[in-house]
Chain A
Amino acid sequence: MTDTHCPYCALQCAQTLSEGDADTLVAVPRAFPTNVNGMCQKGWTSTELLTVRDRLTVPLRRTVDGDFVEVGWDEALDDIAARVRAVRESAGPDGVAVFGGGGLTNEKAYQLGKFARLALRTRLIDYNGRFCMSSAAAAANRTLGVDRGLPFPLTDLNDADVVVLFGSNLADTMPPAVQHLGGVRSRGGLVVVDPRRSATARLTDDGAGEHVQLVPGTDLVLVLGLLHVVFAESLVDTGYLADRVDGVDAVRRSVAEWWPERVAATTGVSETQVRRMARLLADASPHRGGGGAFLLTGRGSEQHTDGTDTVTAVIDLALALGLVGAERGGYGAITGQGNGQGGREHGQKSDQLPGYRMIADPAAREHVAAVWGVRPDQIPGPGVPAVELLASLGTPDGPRALFVHGSNIVVSAPDAGAVRRRLESLDLVVVCDIVPSETAMLADYVLPVTQWAEEDGTMTSLEGRVLRRRQAVRAPAGVRSELEIFADLARRLEAPGTWATEPREVFDELRRASAGGRADYAGISYDRLDAGEALHWPCPTDDHPGTPRLFADSFPTPSGRASMVAVRQTGPAEVVSADAPVWLVTGRVLQHYQSGAQTRRVAKLNGSMPRAYVEIHPALAQRIGVEGVDEISITSVRGSMRAQARISPDIRPDTVFVPFHFADEGLVNAVTLAAVDPVSGMPEFKVCAVSVARTRT
């Protein structure tokens, strides 16, 4: 019996793994605050990941014919090191780039950042969290002074009067979390903002709340309209604003132009609903005697070219109502990937060092260099964010080699066709993975690595709580931990510093590196976690109880005050036209996780959702002559995909929805565009202009 957490999303459901029949492992849920006793079908079937048919167990090298041959570890690592040296000699250290993942443990994420900077000596590292949390992170940093997905325990939602979900479908992405919405639904206070009547939006039916079915890409305008009403109708918490918040006047002025009738024409949300929503929120706010309100954002509102501004406006609204740091209420981002929180704190981001330190900050460099046993000048400067990094691969001044860890970018990155062409133009691609993912199949070397139940480590959940991942089974022979691979390659590349391979030792180094940073793990240890302590960062000392709730007394900004930031509407990077009259939005289904590299290999999950589909409104389906389960092609200037129609009145008639977990002809990211938010680098997955047609057969 091993107590660990589910391998998938950021809810990190607690589960116990035990021996079943015939040498198999069985996962059952365990009592825990976030998942209570629940687990979705991804969790129940998670142990199938350990025995998938095509599990990688031997390093593979691509031959000149394009096939893969099995090679020994030493041979592979020697050759990789030699080829890295060759690229470095011809193109300099930035000739090698690294792409990481938000599913890696804290230990692996930390060590990957260190490996890039000290062993490869490149500044070019970024990761798929750029597609996940970056807009929310940038907005929280500039307003509240720190980015922790939920700065309060998830269970706080139970007692609120109102919870607003801006673009989150958590009934599909993290189903057990829905249990925490029971209270607010019974009080009629769940508000779901989504162009689709998703499974989560349905939770508002029958008096449980409101579904706000806005036009894709207009989330920011809706929030500006809500801000307009709370200022215009004097619903703001003036005492709180005076005591704790700067920048109020600029925001008040910026929303004077967004009266509800104007908002209605842009968003499709009526002025009556805008006002109703604003008053619902105000009445739930503590200063008006309410029971508390939480404003939560998900990828639906964040994955836009104005995603940072949208989240900023949501935080402005939470501040205006005096919710942030209140006993009941606040703003939070619902982190997606399993370690999306920890993965962004310890050095995978292009501009950051462990503990959320900025890599350009001399004091930060000095601190981390001391922990790493190097001189500060041996740490390279800031790199570039993911989309820019991917677009530069193989270009005349761009990298010639790429390491990929825990990411399947030819499925999950926007404009995926272009990403594939970039990868194909490289001299060397090294992919560490557990299965032959679509990206691994493009590699020069594929290195088989350990997964979840085969390893120890820590994960940081959506509420900033550090959790222990524990080894339950021995990894298949031939598989190595990424910590070992980093050490082996660092030695071959004559990197400075020490390269521990035991997760506990790496974590202890991470604690020292994060000490004094915003995400301070110094006081968190395996011993304390194994003793059952619930530790949320920051936790600076061994006797510190951790920080479940941030902002109660002050904000981690130089002044101790939060900043409201005025933002302007810009709208989507691509707008509908006669040639591309329909909005495309992408998202997730319950059965699959991320690019589907894992879940598409689990029989029960793939059996119930084997292919992509196109959700389309009956009126639009009729217009393009689609009936029943006809196949639909979706085309943008970048590429096209096709999948079966799923005709449903749950989607707006001007919009189609496609889940993004699928490859080949169902690859919707062949259609999406790579325009990014100018602040966060987040791509605009959540809206682009397409044409739709019945597939000719």
Chain B
Amino acid sequence: MSHAGRSGGRTARVVVVGAGMVGHRFVDELSRLAPDVDITLLGEEPYQPYSRVLLTELIAGRVDLAGLSLPTTDGSRVRMELGVAVIEIDRERRCVVTTQGEHPYDHLVLATGARGRIPLLPGLRDGLPRGAHVLRTLDDARDISAGALNVDHAVVVGSGPLGVELACGLRRRGVAVTVLSSAPHLLDRALDPGAGRIAQGAAEGLGIEVVSAVQIAAVGVSDGRVTAVRLRDGVSYPAGLVVLAAGTTPETGLARAAGLETNVGIVVGDGLRTTLDRRIAAIGDCAETPAGISGLVAPGWAQARALARSIALDVPVELPAVSGSAMSLKAAGLSVVTMGDRSTTAHEGDRVVSLADPQVHRHVELVTRGDTLAGFTCVGAPELAAHLSTQFDRPGLLPEDPLHLLAGSGSARPPAASPTAMPAATTVCRCNGVTKGDLVAAWDEGSTTVDSLAAATAATTGCGGCRELVCGLVDWLERSDPHAASQSAPTTRETSVPTG
């Protein structure tokens, strides 16, 4: 029996507010770890839990709707209420009140996430006009996809990962896309300026217009529909579709109303419990931990797992140490992967190796610290990025010269074996361990055809893969020794050995 199941001699009740990826993961983990806990999952959207991070892929048409659904939780163990709004948390009575009813709890987990930030701009102040969207929910993604069918031009406001993925997705649908951003360059939180410029070049190569370091003055609206985005300098970008990807705001309203400590997010300690009420925890995008707000799914999942273990097994929350940030763009045609430190965040004494190859929109940068890869940036180098991800933060593995890391795990292929150049000890037939020397000796003994060499040495009689090479050897021997079949004495022949 788990710890959580012993609460007051009856089955412990755990209520989770928020059925996004992190809330779902928490419920999934807890239901496995603590089979005797009574779990309620409350979701605001009317849909089964889905993979929110794939919404831009949905817009790009690289995932269909069914491909977003997350695993079902055990229906006999987890009560799920979807499409319900939580009205308040009654901490006195330990009870969550929704539009549908009440849910008493022993443990309450807030996984309310964040909402897309809407800039305070003329045109957006009275709610979003038609054609303007944030991208947070499945409905948002559907609206954006539908909107993309009817417009020629779209503007994406913001050049963080969401903005870039969105722009690539819309471009893949054939829409002309302009990215407007106040940031100095694309993905500026993850990339240094040099890498950012190359990423920008790659985006432009896909046909996306990127306009950085600009101040947006207003969103033009006519008849309740967006028409354009205007900059402070007066330039105007016409757009039938405007998507705001200008950051998110943690959903803290419920927590604040319940008297819990909030700052940017809901303030929690190392144990993910709120500072004022140990029975209430917060995880995911709404939680402000001592290390900050994660904003990414991987750390949110790590929090979900750690909290589930803590509640089920009565152990302290153990979060994996996170060193630096990690970002991996999901966008067709634009590969950007970063982990850990980069040149502007590198420590004193670190080595920074970088390679810029703007012509093909490629930029690679490594940060090494002692015998460890402490960070990397890969733009336009997905194979290398995948390899470096597996070498990151692994003491003892770094090659002495970090430059060698740039070669990835692959290796240059040796040229195809030539019968003339190979040394006598080279194995020709692997299956039967026959060397070139063995075959030459058999030739000298009078086996001067492929078949007779096979009979004499067993070469070619395994998988047959060396047959071509043996044929080549026979050709070479015939050229250098045309009368061998009629002679019995060994002859000499030239073997050229490549140098260097």
**Chain A contact residues, CB within 8 Å of chain B:** 29, 36-41, 44, 171-172, 175-179, 197, 199, 203, 205-206, 213, 215, 228, 231-234, 249-250, 252-254, 256-257, 259, 261-262, 264-273, 566, 576, 578, 581-582, 590-591, 604, 608, 619-620, 622-623, 649-650, 652-654
Chain A residues lying within 8 Å of B63, measured Cβ to Cβ, are: 232-233
**Can you list, as one digit per residue, whether each of B394-412 has a CB less than 8 Å from chain A (1) or not (0)?**
1111111000100001111
- For the complex, is B83 an interface residue (Cβ under 8 Å from A)? no
Chain B residues lying within 8 Å of A233, measured Cβ to Cβ, are: 62-64
Q: Tally the A-B contacts, defined by beta carbons under 8 Å.
A: 167
- For the complex, is B413 an interface residue (Cβ under 8 Å from A)? yes
Which of A41, A254, A256 sits near B54, CB closer than 8 Å? A256
Complex CA–CA separation, A44 to B328 (angstroms): 53
5 A-B residue pairs with CB within 8 Å: A206-B416, A228-B67, A253-B71, A270-B382, A649-B411
Which of A38, A197, A264, A650 sits near B431, CB closer than 8 Å? A38
Cβ distance A37 to chain B, nearest Cβ, rounded Å: 7
Q: Which 6 A-B pairs have the closest CB atoms?
A: A649-B411, A619-B399, A178-B463, A581-B396, A232-B67, A232-B63
- For the complex, is B100 an interface residue (Cβ under 8 Å from A)? no
> In the complex the two chains form, is A205's CB within 8 Å of B413's CB?
yes
Complex CA–CA separation, A582 to B371 (angstroms): 13
Cβ distance A249 to chain B, nearest Cβ, rounded Å: 8
> In the complex the two chains form, is B431's CB within 8 Å of A231's CB?
no
**Can you list, as one digit per residue, whether each of B274-286 has a CB less than 8 Å from chain A (1) or not (0)?**
0000000000000
Complex CA–CA separation, A270 to B378 (angstroms): 12
Size bracket of the B interface: 35 or more
Chain A residues lying within 8 Å of B400, measured Cβ to Cβ, are: 619, 622-623
Chain A residues lying within 8 Å of B130, measured Cβ to Cβ, are: none
Q: A41-B458, A232-B57, A653-B409 are in contact. List 5 more A-B contacts (CB 8 A).
A: A176-B463, A256-B69, A257-B71, A581-B397, A653-B397
Given A590-B430, A620-B397, A623-B398, answer yes or no on A213-B328 (Cβ-Cβ < 8 Å).
no
**Stretch from B166-174, B246-254, B305-313, B385-393 contacting the other chain:** B385-393
Given A39-B461, A649-B411, answer yes or no on A256-B51 (Cβ-Cβ < 8 Å).
yes
Given A215-B390, A272-B383, answer yes or no on A177-B328 (Cβ-Cβ < 8 Å).
no
- For the complex, is B193 an interface residue (Cβ under 8 Å from A)? no
Choose among A270, A273, A582 the residue with the greatest number of B CB atoms under 10 Å from its CB.
A270
- For the complex, is B329 an interface residue (Cβ under 8 Å from A)? yes
- For the complex, is B290 an interface residue (Cβ under 8 Å from A)? no
Complex CA–CA separation, A228 to B63 (angstroms): 9
Nearest B residue (CB) for A36: B464
> In the complex the two chains form, is A41's CB within 8 Å of B431's CB?
yes
Chain A residues lying within 8 Å of B386, measured Cβ to Cβ, are: 264-265, 267-271, 273
Choose among B57, B71, B398 the residue with the greatest number of A CB atoms under 10 Å from its CB.
B71
Cβ distance A656 to chain B, nearest Cβ, rounded Å: 12
Which of A604, A623, A650 sits near B399, CB closer than 8 Å? A623
Complex CA–CA separation, A29 to B432 (angstroms): 13
Given A233-B62, A268-B386, answer yes or no on A176-B67 (Cβ-Cβ < 8 Å).
no
> In the complex the two chains form, is A252's CB within 8 Å of B66's CB?
yes
Cβ distance B368 to chain A, nearest Cβ, rounded Å: 12
Cβ distance A338 to chain B, nearest Cβ, rounded Å: 17
Complex CA–CA separation, A172 to B465 (angstroms): 12
Chain B residues lying within 8 Å of A270, measured Cβ to Cβ, are: 382-383, 385-386
Chain A residues lying within 8 Å of B151, measured Cβ to Cβ, are: none
Chain A residues lying within 8 Å of B54, measured Cβ to Cβ, are: 232, 256, 259
> In the complex the two chains form, is B397's CB within 8 Å of A176's CB?
no
Complex CA–CA separation, A566 to B28 (angstroms): 14
Choose among B62, B64, B386, B389 the residue with the greatest number of A CB atoms under 10 Å from its CB.
B386
Chain B residues lying within 8 Å of A252, measured Cβ to Cβ, are: 66-67, 69
Cβ distance A588 to chain B, nearest Cβ, rounded Å: 13
Which of A38, A171, A268 sits near B409, CB closer than 8 Å? A268
Chain A residues lying within 8 Å of B389, measured Cβ to Cβ, are: 264-266, 268
Given A257-B51, A259-B57, A576-B394, answer yes or no on A265-B328 (Cβ-Cβ < 8 Å).
yes
Chain A residues lying within 8 Å of B409, measured Cβ to Cβ, are: 213, 268, 652-653
8 A Cβ contacts from B61-81 to A: 62-64, 66-72
> In the complex the two chains form, is B462's CB within 8 Å of A175's CB?
yes
> In the complex the two chains form, is B391's CB within 8 Å of A653's CB?
yes
Chain A residues lying within 8 Å of B465, measured Cβ to Cβ, are: 171, 178, 203
Which of B62, B382, B396 sits near A264, CB closer than 8 Å? B382
> In the complex the two chains form, is A650's CB within 8 Å of B432's CB?
no
Cβ distance A417 to chain B, nearest Cβ, rounded Å: 25
> In the complex the two chains form, is A257's CB within 8 Å of B430's CB?
no
Nearest A residue (CB) for B336: A261
Chain A residues lying within 8 Å of B71, measured Cβ to Cβ, are: 250, 253-254, 256-257, 566
Nearest A residue (CB) for B327: A261
Chain A residues lying within 8 Å of B335, measured Cβ to Cβ, are: 271-272
Nearest A residue (CB) for B68: A256
Complex CA–CA separation, A582 to B465 (angstroms): 34
Complex CA–CA separation, A189 to B411 (angstroms): 21
Chain B residues lying within 8 Å of A622, measured Cβ to Cβ, are: 399-400
Complex CA–CA separation, A101 to B404 (angstroms): 46
> In the complex the two chains form, is B463's CB within 8 Å of A234's CB?
no
Chain A residues lying within 8 Å of B64, measured Cβ to Cβ, are: 232-234
Which of B67, B399, B430, B432 sits near A256, CB closer than 8 Å? B67
- For the complex, is B264 an interface residue (Cβ under 8 Å from A)? no
Nearest A residue (CB) for B54: A259
Complex CA–CA separation, A576 to B390 (angstroms): 11
Nearest A residue (CB) for B455: A28
Complex CA–CA separation, A40 to B394 (angstroms): 41
> In the complex the two chains form, is B328's CB within 8 Å of A272's CB?
no
Nearest B residue (CB) for A228: B67
Cβ distance B221 to chain A, nearest Cβ, rounded Å: 36
Chain B residues lying within 8 Å of A203, measured Cβ to Cβ, are: 465
Chain B residues lying within 8 Å of A232, measured Cβ to Cβ, are: 54, 57, 62-64, 67
> In the complex the two chains form, is A268's CB within 8 Å of B390's CB?
yes
Cβ distance B425 to chain A, nearest Cβ, rounded Å: 11
- For the complex, is B87 an interface residue (Cβ under 8 Å from A)? no
Complex CA–CA separation, A294 to B386 (angstroms): 26
Chain A residues lying within 8 Å of B464, measured Cβ to Cβ, are: 36, 38, 178-179
> In the complex the two chains form, is A38's CB within 8 Å of B461's CB?
yes
Chain A residues lying within 8 Å of B355, measured Cβ to Cβ, are: none
Chain A residues lying within 8 Å of B328, measured Cβ to Cβ, are: 261-262, 264-265
Chain A residues lying within 8 Å of B412, measured Cβ to Cβ, are: 649
Chain A residues lying within 8 Å of B329, measured Cβ to Cβ, are: 261
Chain B residues lying within 8 Å of A267, measured Cβ to Cβ, are: 386, 390
Chain A residues lying within 8 Å of B462, measured Cβ to Cβ, are: 38-41, 175-176
> In the complex the two chains form, is A177's CB within 8 Å of B70's CB?
no
> In the complex the two chains form, is A177's CB within 8 Å of B432's CB?
no
Complex CA–CA separation, A171 to B462 (angstroms): 10
Choose among B53, B399, B413 the residue with the greatest number of A CB atoms under 10 Å from its CB.
B399
Cβ distance A242 to chain B, nearest Cβ, rounded Å: 14
Nearest A residue (CB) for B397: A654
Complex CA–CA separation, A176 to B461 (angstroms): 8
Complex CA–CA separation, A524 to B93 (angstroms): 74
Which of A197, A215, A228 sits near B411, CB closer than 8 Å? A197
Cβ distance A275 to chain B, nearest Cβ, rounded Å: 9
- For the complex, is B50 an interface residue (Cβ under 8 Å from A)? yes
> In the complex the two chains form, is B461's CB within 8 Å of A37's CB?
yes
- For the complex, is B136 an interface residue (Cβ under 8 Å from A)? no
Chain A residues lying within 8 Å of B387, measured Cβ to Cβ, are: 268
Complex CA–CA separation, A12 to B51 (angstroms): 49
Chain B residues lying within 8 Å of A272, measured Cβ to Cβ, are: 335, 382-383
- For the complex, is B119 an interface residue (Cβ under 8 Å from A)? no
> In the complex the two chains form, is B411's CB within 8 Å of A582's CB?
no
- For the complex, is B273 an interface residue (Cβ under 8 Å from A)? no
Complex CA–CA separation, A566 to B385 (angstroms): 29
Which of B66, B371, B431, B463 sits near A623, CB closer than 8 Å? B371
Complex CA–CA separation, A179 to B430 (angstroms): 14
> In the complex the two chains form, is A41's CB within 8 Å of B432's CB?
yes
> In the complex the two chains form, is B433's CB within 8 Å of A591's CB?
yes
Complex CA–CA separation, A650 to B410 (angstroms): 8
